[in-house]
Structures are given as C-alpha cells and as structure tokens.
Structure 1
C-alpha cells in the first residue's frame, strides 16, 4: 500500500517520540506504529477509526489535511490532548497522526 522506504522513514523519525504516533492511509488503515503506540496495543493493519471509543474520533481532520496537503491540529473532544494530522510529502494518501497531552503545556 505504501513504499517500504516511507515506513522505514516513519520509524526513524517517530520511534523515539514519547507519545503515540501512527502512519495512516486515507482509508484509515494503520501502516506503521511507533514504539509507544505498539506498547499501548495499537496495531498495523487495524483501522484507526475502529479504535474505541467512537466519540474520540469527533473532530478528526485527516481528510482536510490530505485535501489541503498541509498539517492540521485540534483538541480531542475531552480537551485533554492536542491532535495532529500531517500529510507525508510525496504520498498523497498517507499521513502521520499523533497527539500530545495538554497537561504538558
């Protein structure tokens, strides 16, 4: 679905990030997870939108980020995390999704 070099680059960049990060296809299939996401049980091949609870996906800006070709961010519904959707340059249907807790600000 995506060139293996993209997955390798994702791991080089995101595996040491202290919060969960995933490489995701437009159809919401998870292509790669960083170490923190793997520790939390997030899996490659799963659909991110199927992660419970359903209301956590309210305000998702993935489609908007891909359409615009530039990153988007916003708070999760509970206001406890800042979420980011960043398109991968040269891969029009792939983005990195990660979030950070607001209590770290």
Structure 2
C-alpha cells in the first residue's frame, strides 16, 4: 500500500490557524487514519504526523471510532465517554468532515485533556 498522501497545503495551513492554540489534542487525518497534521496538545499525547491514529495506544481505546462513518456520510459524528481523560473526566469525542476535502476529517475530544468543571484559575498549564 502506498503511504504517500497528497494534502493541499491550504488545508494544513487552515488547520493550524484554527487549532494550534486549542487546549485539547486535535488531529487532521486522512480516511486511512494516517495523521497529516496535529496541534501541540495532540503531539503531547504521543501522536505524530505520519502515524496511523488507530494504532496509538491500546486497541480498546479505538473501539467505537466513527471516522469511517464521518467520511462516508460527510456528517459530524460524536460519542460521549469513549475513554476517560487523564484526570478521570468523561470527554465528548468528535469526528468532523471537511467541506471540499472528502478524504479528510478532524478528530478531537473536549474534556479529555482538561477538566472544564474546574475554574480556569486552577488550570495547571497556565
């Protein structure tokens, strides 16, 4: 299988403009689940450009992955509580299609890396 994926540089640039400062890990992936861009928060989780996201971490963490559904239907998908965050909080995990780029999707969780029930002044990373 050819691992070379052609990605429009405008798509990579737009991804970074929107998500580089997002406090949760966000990745831009190809329908093959190969990561083509990620933000710093996602990199801190051990993911990197070029890797297949579904092979990162334990296999059970990827049960319920909705990437294929998102790409096939070109509609947002989400699930609550796919895997607990590091602090034990329950995230909501999203897969978003990208208009004009049917072979790509954005994947992230809200409440995975941060506990939004805590007041911002207790955020350790500030």
Alpha-carbon distance in 1 for matches of 2:18, 2:58: 28
Report which of the two structures shows the higher radius of gyration computed on alpha carbons.
Answer: 2
Alpha-carbon distance in 2 for matches of 1:54, 1:101: 21
Q: By percentage of residues, which structure has more helix?
A: 1
Contact 1:22 1:96 in 2 (8 A): yes
Q: By percentage of residues, which structure has more strand?
A: 1
RMSD between aligned residues: 1.6
Q: 4+ residue stretches of structure 1 with deviation over 3 A? A: none
TM-score when scaled to structure 2? 0.77
Is 1:104 aligned with 2:122?
no
**Corresponding residue pairs, total:** 105
1:77 is displaced (CA, Å) by 4.6
What are the ranges of 5 or more consecutive residues in structure 1 without an aligned counterpart?
none
What are the ranges of 5 or more consecutive residues in structure 2 without an aligned counterpart?
1-5, 118-126
TM-score when scaled to structure 1? 0.92
